[in-house]
Amino acid sequence: MGEELKFKKILVTGACGQLGLALTNYLQRYSSKIVALDIEPVKDPWDNDGHNKDELENLQFVLADLTREVDLVACKIDLEDVDYLVHLASIIEDSKDIKVHAQSVIDRDISGTVDLLKHLPALKGICFSSSYMIYGPTIYSPIDEHHPTDPINIYGVCKLAAEKFLTLYGQQKNISVTVLRYAGIYGPGTPADSTRLIPSVIRTVAQNKPPVIFGEGTELRETVYIDDAVSAIVSAIKQAQSDVKGTFNISSGKPYTAKELAELVIELSTEISGTGKLQPEYRVAPAKDVGGDGGGAALTGVELAITSAKDKLGYNPKITLREGLAEHIKWYSTVQNNKKSN
């Protein structure tokens, strides 16, 4: 029997995503029952995303689409005694075109959230995975949780709307709600087609091509390694047992520049995979990249304050950028080698 938690049954939505898989695997050390819900079945071992099927062997898995009422009704028995919700389900890429993807993002991130709560009558606590993208352009730095919110893409808009709804829901239902505003998460399990800077640079360097950096590469960016991202949720669950709640920035605590990142990926890739010695290429960002994160990040010049998370949640990021990138590169190399051998 694992360590005891106050909450007896924890529901994790988006359980087959990068953060969901890592979290559900970690939560198995506790005695709480874990219900892993996702729109897609668990992936085969070492598929294109590198998700290992064995990670969910000891969990109750529920296949459901939050935008389909029939799916939620079908898993009523699984949901009716859930007392804590970790809500990760989302359209994850922030480079989505508002003209094309707005409705699907709204359906999943807002409507799906509202509908899910109708089926959780025993709920006592919620941890919601939000994003630093809700802030928009930097007004002052470092950005704390009181910074103005002015998101510049549909992803940030929907995350902010869901935050406000869940906070209001918690107040009216007397439910503890913790909102975690994540910097970009990286590390093993990162979606293979992610357009974020770190996976893009690692993919390019692995092909022995120079990474392209839009701009001069000197503006600050924020990120957080997958293990630290998981630890923030675990801290939120534990602190919710003492009714600690609120909104918290979650990052590594140390921003980097795109130039620093690209040069470090090149250095580590040379050591780990034997790629050639490359130099980043710096270009002017195309107009179409404004508002996305597909080369020129939607938000740069960002430094997040995580003092509140440290003080109130006991959040303590432990993985340095060098350590995290090394693990990400090793994992990516393993996935690619497995794909070639299959």
Sign of CA dihedral 107, 155, 13, 65: positive
Range scoring the smallest mean pLDDT among 10-14, 46-50, 165-169, 195-199: 46-50
Residue with the larger pLDDT of the pair 285 and 214: 214
**pLDDT at res. 102:** 72
The predicted model scores a pTM of 0.90
What's the rounded mean pLDDT across residues 230-249? Answer: 94
Q: Is the pLDDT of residue 247 over 80?
A: yes
Sequence-distant (≥ 6) Cβ neighbours of residue 283 within 8 angstroms: 212, 213, 214
Dist CA 205 CA 278 (whole Å): 8
CATH topology of domain 9-189+225-251+302-319: Rossmann fold (3.40.50)
Dist CA 187 CA 202 (whole Å): 11
Q: Is the pLDDT of residue 298 over 60?
A: no
**pLDDT at res. 107:** 75
* Tokens standing for residue 281: 């290429």
CB distance 315 to 224 below 8 Å: no
DSSP labels, 260-312: HHHHHHHHHHHHHH-------EEEPPPGGGTTS-SSS-SS-S--B--HHIIII
**pLDDT at res. 93:** 55
Residue 328, Cβ density class (10 Å: 0-12 exposed, 13-18 middle, ≥19 buried)? buried
The 10s digit of each residue's pLDDT in 163-208 is 999 999 999 999 999 999 999 999 999 987 788 889 999 999 999 9
**pLDDT at res. 47:** 44
Confidence of residue 337 (pLDDT cuts 50, 70, 90): confident
Q: Is the pLDDT of residue 55 over 70?
A: no
